[in-house]
Chain A
Amino acid sequence: MPDTSKVDTRVTVETPEGVDFQFMIAGPGKRGMSFFVDMILKFGIIVVCLLLLSLLSLLSWQVSGISAGIFLVTWFAMSWLYGSCFEAFWNGQTPGKKSQNLRVVRTNGTPIGWFEAFGRNLLLVPDGMLVLGQLPLNTVGLLSMATTRRMQRLGDLVFDTMVIDETRQFISRAAGVTDGVERLRRSECIGRFHVPERTLAVIERLFEGDRLISDGRREEIAQTLSLALRSRLKFSEPGPDPMNPNTYFVQTPLKHTTFLKRILKTFSDNPDGRSAEPEDDIDATPLNIIDVAADGPDSGPNALGVETDAQSADMASAVGAVTPRQPFSPDGRTP
């Protein structure tokens, strides 16, 4: 796989099983947010403690030295032990980190221990240094984060930890591609209202972001598949809208591309459209995971849109799945 470590914030870690996988390192923005959340929480706990204790003192009609002592100990715990205790007992997370989906781990991916959690939180002192008036600017920590590959502040460097971003977003498989097009309506297609998974995957590849294809070329490539799908779905092309013919003329030059986008939108964004006519190779209840898993760009050798035999064959076989007898030959798509 390509080495992306220089470009983005991913770090490769080898598991004890001998598999490399990647962690996303959290940047100063998210860490700052979680720091802020923790700070508010700490402050809130101190204030609540103060209120409770003063309430107690009011009830007993005297300012108790014991409650003042408890207050000071709470203050101490909040300023020194809060982060370390949470990180030690919550497997590397504080409430703030949890809210931002962050986690502290060792740089080899294993969870941190008690002493690491404690130490990296004590080193917040030098990391928060270089103050401007009363305002801590965390200059040292930020500088250190800017200069290390894993964005480690001093506390992370010393205790060999890093903060990872665990946010996982399930992108809908056609995200971004199908904006601005409509779903196919059932009334437009009088044939079988179904497109198999493999064909959808091929369509997606055509719209991959890392593929530099001009619109005209994509339209050319799309034509074969589009024609085959049209005949299978028995799609009837609508004529120009009498009220607003302009869009018709704008869209006609790219009608095959648009048609494929509509296919994608209809059958992959909407699981109902697929399960309307379940076929043997498709689960009756498609889940989010399948969408993510089943799609996927091929970051293979033909990433620059150079048509290779492999891709043509892929395309042909996918179309073959639509119509077992191909009404065209792959040669029809000469560059």
Chain B
Amino acid sequence: MNRERFIRQRRGDWQQLETLLTGMKNRRLSKWSGNDITRLSGLYRSVCYDLSLVQSREWGARLEQYLNDLVAQGHNCLYRSPPRSLDTALKFLSHGFPRLLRERRHFFYVSLALFAVPFMIAMIVAAVDPVLAEQIIDRTQMEQAGKSYSKDLYREIDAKYAEERSYMTGFYVWNNVGIAFRCFALGAFFGVGTVITLLFNGIMLGAVCGYIINQGLSDNFFSFAISHGSFELTAIVISGAAGLLLGWGMIHPGELSRRESLRVHGVDAIRLASGAGAMLVVAALIEGYFSPMALPHSVKYVVGAMMWGLVFVYLMQGGRDATDAGTVTDPHRRRASRESLAEAVE
């Protein structure tokens, strides 16, 4: 077939595909008619064939470019991301996320150590010797923290309370989730950024804690912090684990190529980080509305302990039963899910 005959024969289809594409590209998936889809996929495949024909016969760069663009457009129109539903997201949070965390628990433990050890040390140091603690953090900052726990701010739940707490909830979302995401993202520097963030946060929080204990305000403080601390501290550690996972994928690809390793670890890391983000939003709601309530300390301790139990059960048992629930796609994940299945059987 000669080039001109080919063009004359085929350009009708090209035109059709072009008009079809301009019509469908910006329309929502749900508004595509079945007829259109059939026509699109048929035309797209035939244009694919045309492109390979033109490529093999070297029938001109511009014709090839034109067909190439047409194929690229059709490809992007036809192969698009599957529609996301709220259901998928909820399923991920209830099943996929805890399962993934258990699968990557070593990173969680390392992250926990990086956070908890400096926390403990700083707390003990500051509780025993506040003067030494001043070497670590600013005195005014500590005093301010101490002051905010020295008295009960809210005796009753009124309109002013609700307003202030809404503001604080917004602040907690903005601040804490931001910290968690940054902690994860800095893992891209071979994990160094995450390690620094974890250590830094551990020391700071520990020092403040120790100072408050030293001032004898521990009851006020712990009754406030225990309920949301369950979600908040765990989520910070999880986001740290995500960052470490990212860094580990860079440092130690193992049997994979570095590119492949980055991809595998990166996808797992971002899943962990999104789960941590969701947990922090829950924590912000608790911290904003429940923690400062004018309730007896004992009630808060009980609820707080229940919260810790809830987090523990959620992370340990979530997704153990339904093996088909999570989105099990790549071979790596599939292997992992078999492992967790074996665990469940045991």
- A-to-B contact residues, CB < 8 Å: 1, 15-23, 64-66, 68-73, 75-76, 79-80, 88-89, 91-92, 103, 105, 109-116, 118-119, 122-127, 154-155, 157-160, 166, 168, 171, 197-198, 201, 281, 287, 289-290, 292-300
Provide the B79-123 mask, 1 if CB < 8 A to any CB of A, else 0.
111101000000000000000000000000000000000000000
Contact status A125-B186, CB under 8 Å: yes
How far apart are the CA atoms of A17 and B68 in the complex, in Å?
14
**Interface set, chain B 264-320, CB cutoff 8 A to A:** 266-267, 269-271, 273-274
Q: How far, in whole Å, are A287 and B72 apart by their CA atoms in the complex?
A: 21
A105 to B274: give the CA distance in the assembly, Å: 21
Q: Flag if B271 contacts A166 (CB, 8 Å).
A: no
Would you mind naming 18 contact pairs between A and B with Cβ atoms under 8 Å apart? A17-B49, A21-B51, A21-B71, A66-B166, A68-B167, A69-B170, A70-B170, A72-B167, A72-B170, A73-B173, A73-B174, A80-B178, A109-B79, A116-B267, A119-B267, A159-B267, A171-B62, A296-B59
Min distance, Cβ B128 to any Cβ of chain A, angstroms: 37
Chain A CB within 10 A, most for which of B63, B263, B266:
B266
- Whether a CB of chain A sits under 8 angstroms from the CB of B58 is yes
Decide if A88 touches B81 in the complex (CB within 8 Å). yes
Write out the residue numbers on chain A whose beta carbons fall within 8 Å of the beta carbon of B184: 122
* Cα A301 to Cα B4 with chains together (Å): 19
A72–B162 Cα gap in the complex (Å)?
A: 16
Q: Which of these, A122, A201, A295, contacts B181 with CB under 8 Å? A: A122
Contact call B11/A109, Cβ cutoff below 8 A: no
Secondary structure at the B interface, as helix, strand, loop or mixed, is helix
Cβ-defined contact, A166 with B14, below 8 A: no
Number of interface residues of B (CB under 8 A): 70
B31 CB within 8 Å of chain A:
no
Separation in Å of the A252 CB from the closest CB of chain B?
32
Q: Which of A17, A64, A287 has the most CB of B within 10 A?
A: A17
- B174 lies within 8 A of A122 (CB): no
Contact of B11 among A159, A290, A295 (CB under 8 A): A290
Partner of B189, one of A69, A73, A126, A166: A126
Beyond A89-B84, A118-B270, 17 additional pairs, beta carbon < 8 A: A19-B48, A64-B163, A68-B166, A73-B174, A76-B170, A76-B178, A111-B79, A113-B81, A115-B270, A160-B266, A166-B72, A198-B4, A289-B18, A292-B66, A296-B62, A297-B62, A298-B59
